[in-house]
């Protein structure tokens, strides 16, 4: 027989002491932590499905196999992964190959305040991300908001774990605020990022070395065929057309790692950036570092609206692959909102000694700071006109560090033609080249690039560092031997 104690109807209600409320919440956490792993157990013999509640582990490709993540069909070179001696362009479709970060490190600290901002920025309405989540946090999210786990990405080079969550019938921002009340340094929106360029101008007239004048304007050798030797650089951009005439003979390893529900972007922005860096002398478009090995991560995909975007998880995964492959300097010619997962990836990359260069953005002087450029772990670069005025659409702010050419640049197009393009995107490869060559020659160190100390600079604006030009135009004379 079971007896149930019933309170007297006339008994006065007493408030629950705070200590007991805390104990109750602690007990709930313990229960959720115990039940959390059980929430994703699937019946024996049933295959896990993306978005169906199964816990899917997406392998980086370094230890054989991929647990639920597919490439974009761009092909697999079958053996160029991690080979610094590659002499021709290669493609790595669907595989990550990022290395281990070594000893386990504490999770990167996240800024809790950004999620409460009134302007959440462009993001996917039906997804959230969880960074290094506990079992209790995932169980709470599943039970209280009905989210489903799409996949889990282990970013080994950065020592981060990111879980991608699907929402059903609820708003991402409202759900995020609800989850933040439970654990405010775990969940984030799935923000979106666009390349930082303006529409291309009419086709430029073909010349023998189209960017020679821009090289001269920064003191770079016009005959730069030997620049970039024994250097590994990376970009996060749209896919590079490896068969483009200007890139024949270049050392390029590309990575396309998109989810099955994402469509790859056919765009020549990444090809234009790659040619500015490693364009080959024999094709008449000699880049800034033609002897360097270029790692090209392509996380951009096509939205149902037709726009080309990369999401925060794709950017973090790209950084992880580039760091794991040994990139020393990485260029990010893109812009978007602040994101906690991207913040953590940038901080981990910098802790590994990698320098990330980011485009200031093209929102204009009144725009809010764009990310990743506004993050202190990056070198933000703005664009100059040939007359050394600032690009009229460039974003401004106290985070700007340097100013380099980025307006009316003759860049390669998909059909082998030249197009004049403008945007802070195109200033990025110039700074990537400067940083990489100076680090290789040991003429400047990474701390000097971040502090602006002990280096020659052409001040272009108000004396000292200013929000338009930063410290100005770096003055270095590479030897390129």
Which of the residues 59, 77, 80, 237 is marked catalytic?
237
C-alpha atoms less than 13 angstroms from C-alpha of 323 in its C-beta half-sphere? 28
Q: How many CB atoms lie within 10 A of CB 443?
A: 14
Residues 189, 114 contacting (CB under 8 angstroms): no
In this structure, what DSSP letter does residue 242 have?
Answer: T
Measure the N-to-C terminal CA separation of the chain; round to a whole number of Å: 91
Inter-axis angle of helices 428-441 and 269-278, to 10 degrees? 30
* Pairing of β 263-264 and β 232-236: unpaired
The residues pairing with 341 across neighbouring beta strands, listed in sequence order, are none
Provide the b/e sequence for 161-176 (b: ≥16 CB within 10 Å).
bbbbbbbeeeebbebb
Residue 33: which H helix or E strand, with range?
Answer: helix 18-35
Q: What is the CA radius of gyration of the chain?
A: 25
Residues 225, 282 contacting (CB under 8 angstroms): no
Which of the residues 256, 269, 399, 440 is marked catalytic?
269
* 100-105-106 Cα angle (round to 5): 145
Rounded Cα–Cα distance for residues 120 and 375 (Å): 17
269 is catalytic: yes
Of 169, 187, 191, whose CA–CA distance to 119 is shortest? 191
Of 113, 112, 81, whose CA–CA distance to 98 is shortest? 81
Which of the residues 425, 436, 438, 440 is marked catalytic?
425
Enumerate long-range contacts of 171-179, CB under 8 Å, 24 or more apart.
Answer: 171/125, 172/120, 172/123, 172/124, 172/125, 172/126, 172/127, 172/128, 173/120, 175/128, 175/145, 175/147, 176/115, 176/128, 177/115, 177/116, 178/144, 178/145, 179/128, 179/137, 179/140, 179/141, 179/144, 179/145
237 is catalytic: yes
Catalytic positions, please?
237, 269, 425
């Amino acid at each position: 027989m079971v007896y149930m104690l019933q309170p007297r109807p006339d008994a006065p209600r007493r408030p629950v002491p705070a200590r007991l409320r805390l104990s109750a919440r602690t007990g709930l956490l313990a229960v959720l932590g115990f039940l959390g792993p059980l929430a994703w157990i699937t019946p024996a013999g049933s295959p896990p499905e993306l978005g169906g509640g199964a816990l899917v582990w997406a392998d980086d490709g370094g230890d054989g196999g991929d647990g639920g993540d597919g490439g974009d069909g761009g092909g697999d070179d079958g053996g160029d992964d991690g080979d610094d001696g590659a002499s021709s362009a290669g493609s790595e479709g669907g595989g990550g190959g990022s290395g281990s970060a070594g000893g386990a490190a504490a999770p990167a600290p996240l800024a809790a305040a950004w999620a409460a901002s009134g302007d959440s920025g462009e993001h996917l309405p039906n997804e959230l991300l969880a960074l290094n989540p506990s079992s209790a946090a995932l169980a709470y999210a599943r039970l209280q908001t009905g989210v489903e786990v799409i996949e889990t990405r282990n970013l080994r080079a950065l020592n981060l774990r990111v879980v991608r969550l699907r929402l059903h019938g609820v708003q991402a921002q409202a759900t995020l605020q609800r989850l933040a009340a439970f654990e405010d340094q775990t969940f984030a929106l799935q923000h979106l990022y666009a390349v930082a360029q303006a529409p291309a101008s009419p086709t430029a007239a073909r010349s023998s070395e189209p960017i020679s004048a821009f090289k001269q304007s920064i003191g770079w050798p016009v005959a730069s065929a030997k620049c970039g030797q024994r250097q590994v650089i990376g970009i996060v951009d749209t896919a590079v057309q490896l068969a483009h005439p200007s890139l024949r003979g270049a050392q390029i390893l590309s990575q396309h790692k998109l989810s099955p529900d994402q469509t790859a972007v056919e765009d020549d922005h990444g090809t234009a950036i790659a040619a500015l860096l490693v364009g080959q002398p024999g094709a008449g478009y000699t880049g800034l570092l033609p002897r360097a090995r270029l790692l090209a991560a392509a996380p951009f995909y096509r939205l149902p609206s037709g726009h080309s975007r990369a999401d925060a998880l794709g950017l973090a995964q790209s950084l992880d692959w580039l760091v794991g492959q040994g990139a020393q300097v990485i260029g990010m010619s893109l812009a978007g909102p602040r994101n906690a997962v991207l913040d953590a990836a940038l901080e981990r990359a910098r802790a590994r000694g990698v320098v990330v260069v980011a485009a200031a953005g093209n929102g204009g002087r009144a725009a809010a700071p764009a990310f990743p450029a506004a993050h202190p772990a990056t070198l933000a670069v703005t664009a100059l006109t040939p007359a050394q005025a600032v690009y009229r659409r460039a974003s401004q702010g106290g985070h700007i560090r340097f100013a380099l050419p980025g307006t009316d640049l003759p860049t390669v197009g998909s059909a082998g033609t030249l197009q004049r393009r403008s945007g802070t995107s195109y200033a990025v490869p110039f700074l990537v080249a400067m940083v990489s060559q100076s680090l290789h020659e040991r003429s400047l160190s990474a701390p000097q690039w971040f502090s602006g100390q002990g280096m020659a600079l052409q001040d272009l604006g108000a004396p000292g560092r200013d929000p338009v030009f930063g410290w100005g135009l770096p003055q270095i004379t590479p030897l390129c031997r």
